[in-house]
Amino acid sequence: MGHLYALHACRARYAVPMDAMDVTMSGGEAALAGLLEQLWQMVLETPSRPCSLARVSKRTGRPMSALMRQLSFLSAAGWVEVESREEGGGRVELTAAGRELCAGWFGAYPPTSDIRTTG
């Protein structure tokens, strides 16, 4: 139930810059915001390709099972697109709405010529 609350709280705060957000975020809300921040940093580093799930898991220090649960909430909100393969691995990338959200929260757009258009 906590993660559902976190998702709704993130949606309610969609247009609020990250530095203006209440510092008393719940643990689930902070985890989702932290994951979005890491995905955004990865987009800024390599804007022309999606992030591998293994790389995101390693970079965030989240086990794959926890990462996939969090990504499912972000996907339901329309902020990420996830592709996982049965044999393992997969990729994740921010949708246009996710990039807009992250740019508002964390600042700095990646170069427009390299942005992948999803969702």
Span 2-49, pLDDT tens digits? 434 444 455 455 444 444 444 455 677 788 888 999 999 999 888 888
Structural domains in the chain, CATH included, are 2-114 (1.10.10.10)
Q: Is the pLDDT of residue 118 over 90?
A: no
User: What does pTM read for this prediction?
Assistant: 0.70
Instruction: List Cβ neighbours of 23 (8 Å cut-off, separation of 6 or more).
Output: none
Local confidence band at 113 (pLDDT 50, 70, 90 cut-offs): very low
CB 57 within 8 A of CB 75: no
**3-state percent helix, strand, coil for the chain, nearest multiple of 5:** 55, 10, 35
Q: Residue 53, CB half-sphere, CA atoms under 13 Å: how many? A: 22
